[in-house]
Chain A
Amino acid sequence: MLALPDHFKLFDLPRRFEINSLALDTAYRTVQSQVHPDRFVTGTAAESRVAMQWATRANEAYRTLKSPLKRAAYLCELAGTPIEAESNTAMPVDFLTQQMQWREALDDARDSGDGATLLRLSETMEAERARITGEIAHALDVDAAYQSAAARVRQLMFVERFGNEVSSAIETIRGHASA
């Protein structure tokens, strides 16, 4: 079997966290225009089978590289430091304390319908996301410190998940307001 290229090689992009989003979009479309099954509808069985595999891979690669969180996790994995979010739940104590405070704030605001607090929480999550993403970029692209990057990816996972909870709480309050 042909050794499958990694997602970066597939799109001919440097293996880094900082990525040129426009170059990624263009590369994705260029690759799909070569491999998409639509190109091989009248082709041989082997061609259409291979086309489906490669188009599937291109979609997966694009989805992974497009998202900063998935891209960071993927880079850690390529470097032999998988994230193992399920089994590795160790977090710095101050981050855990912070998590508990945020969660309490969310629960209280949700129960009391406190939209202002929810919006503030949402802004906090945006800022956290930016901060951690910056640290990840540095850990991966400058220090090549994959253990430390993986730990921050786990933090970012929490922030994204929690941010979604905050957003849906805001949606719920807005829904009640407009109904």
Chain B
Amino acid sequence: MALLQIAEPGQSTDPHRHRLAVGIDLGTTNSLVATVRHSIPVVLADEEGRLLLPSIVQFNANGTTVVGYPAQKQQTIDARNTVVSVKRLMGRGMDDVEHIENMPYDFIDAPGMVQLRTAAGIRSPVEVSAEILKVLRARAEQSLGGDLVGAVITVPAYFDDAQRQATKDAARLAGLNVLRLLSEPTAAAVAYGLDHGAQGVYAVYDLGGGTFDISILRLTKGVFEVLATGGDSALGGDDFDHRVFCWLVERSRLLPLSAQDARLVMVKARDAKERLSVEPEVQVNAVLSTGELVDQTLTSPEFRQMTQALVQKTLAACRDALSDADLSNSQIDGIVMVGGATRMPHVRQAVGAFFGQTPLTNIDPDTVVALGAAIQANLLAGNRAAGDDWLLLDVIPLSLGLETMGGLVEKIIERNSTIPVARAQEFTTFKDGQTAIALHVVQGERELVSDCRSLVRFELRGLPPMVAGAAKVRVSFQVDADGLLDVTALEVNSGVQASVVVKPSYGLADEDITRMLQDSFGAVDADIRARLLRDQQVDAQRLLEATKAALATDADLLSPDEQSNVNELVAALSAQADGDDAAAIKRSVDALALATDEFAARRMDRSIRSALAGRRVDDLAAVVGGSD
């Protein structure tokens, strides 16, 4: 029996109201949407019963957009306007994308992230991804019969800040409320771990279409703790296709290929790779638009040999992750295989040989990530049932640092730090009278700035002139639970401050997203204002409910003065909450939120004390050998 009755955070105040939430696996090759129905995670199918949505988007001159299977049919006919594997372009500049010369698109070298010139106009990878997400959102809303509270979107564990931010922007552009960005291997571990009641240390080997992740997790009673993660955000099944593609071009002595023919040969290469998972050798035949013929036989050993270097690259990442987790491969209790590319027998064999045990392949590598995301979304949305309680502790995959003199990187937050995480470091000026400091935030493991990814540059201006070395500039990094970074710089003596939420330099500002949303919905001004007002009213109601619930249990944490202040603000907000002045509601919401900040902190402290006290009682019970 608990001495203090504290409202369980995260639990719905109305236990009968099920909030609609989904998990989305936004994959390089295929995407899926899943939800939890009657406590069971399920992938939602389209009208024809298909679970997968090919991540392919075709843009037409008449402005229409085709997504999925119909677009897939067009990919060899209209290659230039039909975008496949867009995930490889997310948050990436022209120079970052491997094999870009083999992609049949009309690229524009935009700062921060490439763009594509299509028949329907210029599109960024964020917009292309948003088209895929819109289809999944519509599928979910139709299937579940209502508006979604939000979605958990999965990203490769090894995605950097720019790639994560781009993914989040795409989701918002698709009108989705992002509950959390979740690492794909972590999602797989959740689905596998909860389903099998797994305990111990697990490795998740996730080889997708365009990305590779390795994550090492410890599963202990209700807690999934990522110990280390590693990988390559530009290595996946596509690269195996590409090796076959090059082999076909060379063997068939093909002339330089048109966009159409390049796509055709690529499709044939992929098909050959997939068939080799079940057949010892395959025939590859094609007739190109030039009349040239492709007629080759590819055997399993040949395929294995031409892709061996790729497999070795994944094993090197496994070795690094184990070393970061301070574990040897014999300490791993199981290896979960995720991603369609793990169907290749030689990948399974190599992983088995590396870890000295047979990998677990009794799960569907295509759906497990989406199912894990759905389970997490269900929990975050507040549909938690009593006893059905667990927690995820994830890490940041790549170190974050600042450029210092001589193009070197000073690491502020080390890779594999558990998030959320904050760390600060002090810097100083190097010239007399210097009144500004330029800060360059980078992500990566290398010592030279030029070998790391540039995230953002900003300046701290208005410093009072001081002699060199006298200024004390404290730079603080805060990474949130989505793995996204926020940087603040403060000159300690003068109090001059500057801060940025790190936005990759392609810079989709909030206003851009709002504008794009408006464009896409073709909404008129009045609709938007009505929606804004409704959002404010919902916000106000939520805050009022939460505050009243908090007061009911923990009012004793406030002094009489503080209590009457909160009561006044509650009354003020109650009076306005149903009114039609959105601005006034917002002002009252902000005022009450500010006044309850400290209250929230005290309640947090009390809940910790109570939980720790409960734990001691449990320990005691365990020692005595009794239970309830």
Report the nearest B residue to A55, measured CB to CB.
B420
Q: Give B618 Cβ to nearest chain A Cβ, in Å.
A: 9
Which residues of chain A in 34-53 are interfacial with respect to chain B, using CB atoms and an 8 Å cutoff?
34-47, 49-53
* Interface size of A in residues (CB-CB distance below 8 Å): 40
Residue-by-residue, is B596-621 near A (CB-CB < 8 Å gives 1, otherwise 0)?
Answer: 11111110110111011101100000
A7 → B minimal CB distance (Å): 13
Measured CA separation A58–B597 after assembly (Å): 19
Q: In the complex, which of the residues B179, B382, B391, B419 contacts A33, with contact meaning CB atoms closer than 8 Å?
A: B391
Given contacts A2-B605, A30-B612, is CB(A41)–CB(B593) below 8 Å? no
Contact of A42 among B380, B417, B612 (CB under 8 A): B380
Known contacts A2-B598, A34-B607: A41-B421 contact under CB 8 Å: no
Q: Cβ of B546 < 8 Å from any Cβ of A?
A: yes
Interface residue? B74 (CB, 8 A):
no
- Closest A residue to B222 using CB positions: A33
Q: By the criterion of a CB under 8 Å from any partner CB, how many residues of chain B are at the interface?
A: 51
When the two chains form their complex, are residues B422 and A60 in contact, meaning their CB atoms are under 8 A apart?
Answer: yes
Taking CB as reference atom, which chain A residue is nearest B390? A33
Q: Per-position contact with A for B379-421: 1 when CB-CB < 8 Å, else 0?
A: 1111000000101110000000000000000000000011111
Query: Which of B422, B481, B546 sits near A36, CB closer than 8 Å?
Result: B481
Q: Which residues of B contact A54 (CB under 8 A)?
A: 601, 604, 608
Q: Do B421 and A47 touch (CB < 8 A)?
A: no
What residues of B have a CB within 8 angstroms of the CB of A89 in the complex? Answer: none
A41–B19 alpha-carbon span in the complex (Å)? 13
Query: Is B421 in contact with A27, judged by CB distance below 8 angstroms?
Result: no
Interfacial chain A residues near B225, Cβ < 8 Å: 29
Cβ of A93 < 8 Å from any Cβ of B?
A: no
Chain A nearest CB from B615 CB (Å) reads 5
Cα–Cα distance between A36 and B612 once the two chains are bound (Å): 15
B382 in contact with A31 (CB, 8 Å): no
Task: Give the CA-CA distance A55 to B546 in the complex, in Å.
Answer: 20
Q: Which of A33, A50, A59 contacts B611 (CB 8 A)?
A: A33
Chain B residues lying within 8 Å of A30, measured Cβ to Cβ, are: 608, 611-612, 615
B24 to chain A, nearest CB (A): 16
Q: Is the CB of A44 within 8 A of B546?
A: yes
Contact status A31-B612, CB under 8 Å: yes
The listed residue (B19, B380, B542) touching A44 by CB distance below 8 A is B542
Contact indicator A41/B381 (Cβ below 8 Å): yes
Please indicate the chain B residues that have their CB under 8 angstroms from the CB of A43 in the complex. 9-10, 546
Measured CA separation A37–B391 after assembly (Å): 10
Knowing A41-B179, A56-B422, A59-B420 are in contact, say whether A50-B10 is a contact too (CB < 8 A): no
Kindly list chain B residues whose C-beta atoms are within 8 Å of the C-beta of A32.
Answer: 223, 391, 393
Q: Does B220 make an interface contact (CB < 8 A)?
A: yes
Q: How far is the CA of A53 from the CA of B68 in the complex (A)?
A: 42
| Chain B residues near A63 (CB-CB < 8 A) | 417-418
User: For B608, what are the chain A residues with a Cβ–Cβ distance below 8 Å?
Assistant: 10, 30-31, 34-35, 54
Q: Is B149 an interface residue (CB 8 A)?
A: yes
Does A11 have its Cβ within 8 Å of any Cβ on chain B?
yes
**Contacts across chains A and B counted by CB atoms under 8 Å:** 126
Query: Nearest chain-A residue to B481 (Cβ)?
Result: A37
Residues in chain A near residue B52, CB distance under 8 A: none
Does the CB pair B379–A27 fall under 8 Å?
A: no
Instruction: Give bound CA distance, A26 to B600, whole Å.
Output: 24
A177 is an interface residue with CB less than 8 A from chain B: no
Which has the most chain B C-beta neighbours within 10 Å: A2, A41, A50, A55?
Answer: A41
By secondary structure, the A interface counts as helix
Task: Tell me which residues across on chain A come within 8 A of B80, comparing CB atoms.
Answer: none
Asked if B567 CB lies within 8 Å of chain A CBs, one says no
* Contact digits for B414-446, partner A, Cβ 8 Å, 1 yes 0 no: 000111111000000000000000000000000
Q: Is B180 close to A, CB under 8 A?
A: yes
Q: How far is the CA of A35 from the CA of B606 in the complex (A)?
A: 11
- Which residues of chain A have C-beta atoms less than 8 A from B19's C-beta? 42
Q: Are B418 and A59 in contact (CB under 8 A)?
A: yes
Do B612 and A50 have beta carbons less than 8 Å apart?
no
Distance in angstroms between the alpha carbons of A47 and B546 in the assembled complex: 10
**Interface status of A12 (Cβ within 8 A of chain B):** yes
B597 touches A50 (CB 8 A): yes
Report chain B residues within 8 Å CB of A46.
Answer: 593-594, 596-597, 599-600
In the complex formed, the residue of A with least CB distance to B218 is: A25
Contact between chains at B9 and A39 (CB < 8 Å): yes
CA of A10 to CA of B481 in the docked complex: distance in angstroms? 20
A1 within 8 A of B: yes
Q: Which of chain B's residues has its CB closest to A52's CB?
A: B420
Q: Choose among A5, A27, A49, A62 the residue that contacts B597 (Cβ–Cβ < 8 A).
A: A49
Which A residue sits closest to B422, measured CB to CB?
A: A56
Q: Tell me if B612 and A27 are in contact (CB < 8 A).
A: yes
Given known A-B contacts A44-B593, A59-B418, A39 and B546 have beta carbons under 8 A apart: no
Q: Is B459 an interface residue (CB 8 A)?
A: no
The smallest C-beta distance from B419 to any residue of chain A, in angstroms, reads 8
Q: Which residues of B contact A25 (CB under 8 A)?
A: 220
| A65→B75 CA distance, assembly (Å) | 56
Are B10 and A40 in touch, CB under 8 angstroms? yes
B478 at the A/B interface (Cβ < 8 Å)? yes
Q: B593 contacts A56, CB within 8 Å? A: no
Query: Given the complex of chains A and B, what is the CA–CA distance between A12 and B409 in angstroms?
Result: 38
Q: Is the CB of B543 within 8 A of A44?
A: yes
A44 touches B596 (CB 8 A): yes
Q: Chain A residues near B222 (CB, 8 Å)?
A: 33
Cα of A55 to Cα of B9 in the assembled complex, Å: 14
B447 located at the interface, meaning its Cβ lies under 8 Å from any Cβ of chain A in the complex? no
Q: Given A26-B615, A38-B180, A52-B420, verify A2-B149 contact (CB < 8 Å).
A: no
Min CB distance A122 to B, Å, is: 15
Query: What is the bound-complex CA distance between A60 and B414, given in angstroms?
Result: 13
Q: A37, B612: Cβ atoms under 8 Å? A: no
B604 adjacent to A35 (CB under 8 Å):
yes
Q: Which 6 A-B pairs give the minimum distances between C-beta atoms?
A: A39-B9, A41-B380, A37-B481, A50-B600, A39-B10, A12-B612
Q: List 30 A-B contacts (CB under 8 A).
A: A1-B598, A2-B602, A26-B615, A29-B220, A31-B608, A32-B391, A36-B393, A37-B480, A38-B10, A38-B180, A38-B391, A39-B10, A40-B9, A41-B150, A41-B180, A41-B382, A42-B19, A42-B381, A44-B596, A46-B594, A46-B596, A47-B600, A50-B604, A52-B480, A54-B604, A56-B422, A59-B417, A60-B422, A62-B418, A63-B418
